[in-house]
Structure 1
């Protein structure tokens, strides 16, 4: 399993290759990417690489992603206690969603505290509806950064399914199905 620094270097190298490829394809009119889409992808990829890494499930220790949050890194300690390392947080679809959901809860709590402490405070609204042209590059950037991490860790896409199936087989009191007789 690579160190956090190696994970970051892998992601930076992959991003560089992707950016160069996108630039070449767009110059040849084979791909159309708006500056806003490129920015959204880049910011989400950077956030997924440096701030929301799957290794936040180790947030009680020295984790690069937690350190990048600075003093706010302490907010990720409960996440590290909720998820065991390389468990659900290291699955291909749900793992990245756990970090986004946890972040959404943190933001909701902070906004609630701010509105309670300073009732006159005006916070910016999230524009509605959010278009696919806006959201897709963000999700692609975020998920790609997560998947590169998982690939480097040797985590297969069916990791969560295999882990759940193994857990179910080991559950106490679970009946094993009887073999069917092959009588005709």
Structure 2
């Protein structure tokens, strides 16, 4: 097995890819080959950089020193259980489900914190989704997030069928 890039190299790969992609989109937009609104560009960028710097697939190592965990500052400890629940390069390093596990984990943490707030302060106003909330908002966020995750997996040498091969291996071992 070949060596995988450090967190710093992963970040440089993602930043370089984002720069080339942004330049290409800007050129295509100026030549009227593509239409991208400022809101779509911002949402893509937010998703991409959140995935690169805060929600890296390497959070499955969160009980150790992981750049993504450190970037959460004092809240970095919240990712330690995720790291303990995930085996490195297991489900967290799959192409579709892996990124979803981090989003789902974050949603569970947010729900627990909101539940605790409501318990302590029953009249605490719950935040709502920004209106209008649409697919046009969600799609660029998810595209940016998933692209950042896939670049990480490509750099690690993780193939798109990684999750299926892992499952097949487990099934064969039981057979």
Q: Name the TM-score, length of structure 2 as normaliser.
A: 0.95
After the TM superposition, list the runs of 4 or more consecutive aligned residues in structure 1 that deviate by more than 4 angstroms: none
User: SS in structure 2 opposite 1:119?
Assistant: coil
Q: Where do residues 5-154 of structure 1 align in structure 2 (5 Å cutoff)?
A: 5-127=8-130, 130-154=133-157
Q: Deviations over 1:111-168 (max 9, x none)?
A: 1111112223223211467312111101100000000000000000000001110111
Q: Could you tell me which runs of 5 or more consecutive residues in structure 1 were left unpaired when the two chains were aligned.
A: 175-184
Q: Could you tell me which runs of 5 or more consecutive residues in structure 2 were left unpaired when the two chains were aligned.
A: none
Number of residue pairs matched? 172
User: SS in structure 1 opposite 2:63?
Assistant: coil
Distance across 2 between alignment mates of 1:67 and 1:151? 23
Distance across 2 between alignment mates of 1:166 and 1:106? 32
Instruction: Give the CA deviation at 1:43.
Output: 0.4
Q: Name the TM-score, length of structure 1 as normaliser.
A: 0.90
Distance across 2 between alignment mates of 1:24 and 1:128? 31
